[in-house]
Amino acid sequence: MSAAMSRPFLKMPFLKMNGLGNDFVVVEARSAPFAPTPEEVRAIADRVKGVGCDQLIAIEKGAGGADAKVRFWNADGEEVSACGNGTRCVGWLLMQSSGTDRAVIETKAGQLIATRAGERLVSVDMGKPGLGWQDIPLAREQDTRALDETLSTDTTLATAPGCVSMGNPHVVFFVDDVEAVPIATIGPMVEHHPLFPEQVNVGFAQVIDRGRIRLRVWERGAGLTKACGTGACAALVAAARRGLTDRSAVLVLDGGELLIEWRDDDHVHMTGPAAVDFAGELP
């Protein structure tokens, strides 16, 4: 890491955590300020010279009844509003430290509530999905249930994708065989398509049956990850809106399974594991 990083990050403790292989560097910033530059985030996330992660997370002091405020940065250095697997990991940490079964987490996407769902299992109320074209946001008006826009000419993408915001933008393609899709080629092209002014997370979903979806996600700023919590939520909502599944399903990701429920109150709940890999100090 660069010498410039030694000043602001001296003795900053962190935990390396993962949710289904989607991995994070989680920094304890409640007792000292933590304001990394994009260059510093990229250095921490670098898997050769840094700690290595898909996202960097800072836990700060909460306000307004929240147990903590949480900030997220993608590996490319951009700060983002939401991260489902990261929220689940932070929720587990907060509940472990307080000895309670509930944690209120403040994020840029709003307050999220995490609850204990079993041994190292955490359920997070991810709030209501954004379904309007301005919620995503899109550059122009579209029916987000099925876009009237050609995002890719690849023949594995035979049907129009849907869009959902889970505090961050998602586009979801429904495919016959997710393993046959050239995600490394299509993902970055769609991520930077002009229809998405804030770029977009790109999901590729194969509906196995009404209660099970195989999903792979190209995350904006991180690439193909083993799991994406908000992506799983978006895929379930997009599938249910088109009548392809029920409003509750198991999402099968490269790193494991998540239970996603789009409940009658319009809130999306995500349940899955959280794991601690190791502890350290920055830089």
Nearest residue to 85 via CA among 39, 119, 53: 53
Measured CA to CA, the distance from residue 141 to residue 149 in angstroms comes to 11
Is residue 89 part of the annotated active site? The answer reads no
The residue from 53, 89, 163, 228 that is catalytic is: 228
The residue from 53, 83, 89, 163 that is catalytic is: 83
Is residue 233 part of the annotated active site? The answer reads no
Is residue 161 a contact partner of residue 145, using CB atoms and an 8 Å limit?
no
Name 135's Cβ contacts closer than 8 Å, sequence gap at least 6. 165
Given its phi and psi angles, is residue 110 left (phi above 0), alpha (psi -120 to 50 degrees) or beta? left
Q: Which two tokens stand for residue 272?
A: 């899955």
List the helix and strand counts (H, then E) for the chain: 4, 17
Active site residues: 83, 228
